[in-house]
């Protein structure tokens, strides 16, 4: 894991976090935050925030794709969600002093910008619009987690896998064809079922010409039918 003091790079100039801040934060305030940030590169599989540890920084993900991973008492993994850059990671830990309840792990080569949590809190206290932004992101995260929750809670495997494929197409890869960043095992941990069940279900979707599968490469042929499957459960 390579760490370096930040120098203005092209990424930084286009940094969306900066853009967000500038709407509500003065240049001085931003510089105050900015001085303490460091950039990190993460290889596929590398842990960005670790479950069970206290963290004293947020990570603004500049580039890459990550999974939110929860490991239970029996060492079984559950993927809560998969999300792509740009996004702010670690919001759930802002105010609750407790440890992180899940890990965030890169599933593609990624780059993040570490933001000092104490400094951010200081700014938030002194800047109400900035805090409003953070509050908005936080409640937004809560709202979107509800839908995940609903999907897993009372849909069968068909519907859950349809939901995951829809999320990957629309939000993560934003393309009808993509190379899956996760293994079949991880897909199963996302869908909350066995990996064999994932394989069977994907095969069925392929046979029904809803998707085209070849190893890690997936092409969505009929998004409407996926949405229909998601709806009936």
Partner DNA sequence: CGCGAGCTTGACGTTGTTCAACTAGAGTGG
Partner DNA sequence: CCACTCTAGTTGAACAACGTCAAGCTCGCG
The closest alpha carbon to 108, from 193, 168, 163, belongs to: 168
The closest alpha carbon to 206, from 190, 222, 184, belongs to: 222
Check binding of 49 to a second copy (CB under 8 A): no
Would you give the binding string for DNA spanning residues 125-164, x where CB under 7 A is met? -------------------------------xxx------
Check binding of 141 to a second copy (CB under 8 A): yes
What are 34's two structure tokens? 């900015």
What are 164's two structure tokens? 């995951």
Using the 8-state DSSP alphabet, how is residue 102 labeled?
A: S
Check binding of 228 to DNA (CB under 7 A): no
State the Cα–Cα distance between residues 177 and 218, nearest whole angstrom: 6
53 binding partner (options DNA, a second copy, none; Cβ < 5 to 8 Å by kind): none
Using the 8-state DSSP alphabet, how is residue 92 labeled?
A: G
Pick one of 35, 139, 177, 183: the residue that binds DNA (CB under 7 A).
Answer: 183
Q: Hey, which residues between 166 and 205 contact a second copy (CB under 8 A)? A: 192
State the Cα–Cα distance between residues 62 and 112, nearest whole angstrom: 5
9 binding partner (options DNA, a second copy, none; Cβ < 5 to 8 Å by kind): none
Check binding of 52 to a second copy (CB under 8 A): no
State the Cα–Cα distance between residues 37 and 39, nearest whole angstrom: 7
Would you give the binding string for a second copy spanning residues 81-100, x where CB under 8 A is met? ----------xx-xxx-x--
Contact footprint for DNA (CB under 7 A): 156-158, 183-185, 192-197, 199-200, 202-203, 213, 215-216
């Amino acid at each position: 894991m390579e760490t370096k003091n930040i120098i203005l790079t092209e990424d930084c100039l286009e940094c969306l976090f900066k853009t967000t801040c500038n709407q509500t934060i003065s240049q001085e305030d931003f510089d105050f935050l900015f001085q303490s940030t460091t950039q990190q590169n993460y290889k596929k599989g590398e842990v960005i925030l670790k479950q069970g540890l206290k963290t004293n920084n947020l990570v603004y993900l500049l580039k890459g794709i990550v999974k939110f991973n929860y490991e239970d008492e029996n060492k079984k993994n559950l993927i809560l969600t998969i999300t792509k850059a740009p996004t702010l990671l670690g919001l759930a830990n802002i105010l609750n002093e407790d440890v992180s309840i899940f890990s965030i792990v890169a599933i593609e080569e990624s780059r993040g910008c570490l933001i000092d949590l104490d400094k951010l809190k200081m700014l938030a206290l002194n800047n109400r619009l900035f805090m409003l932004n953070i509050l908005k992101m936080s409640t937004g995260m809560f709202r979107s987690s509800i839908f995940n929750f609903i999907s897993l809670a009372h849909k069968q495997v068909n519907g859950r896998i349809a939901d995951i494929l829809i999320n990957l197409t629309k939000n993560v890869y934003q393309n009808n064809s993509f190379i899956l960043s996760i293994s079949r095992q991880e897909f199963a941990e996302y869908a909350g079922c066995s990996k064999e069940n994932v394989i069977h279900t994907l095969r069925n979707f392929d046979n029904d010409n809803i998707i085209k599968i070849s190893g890690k490469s997936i092409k969505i042929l009929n998004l409407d039918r996926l949405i229909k499957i998601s709806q009936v459960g």
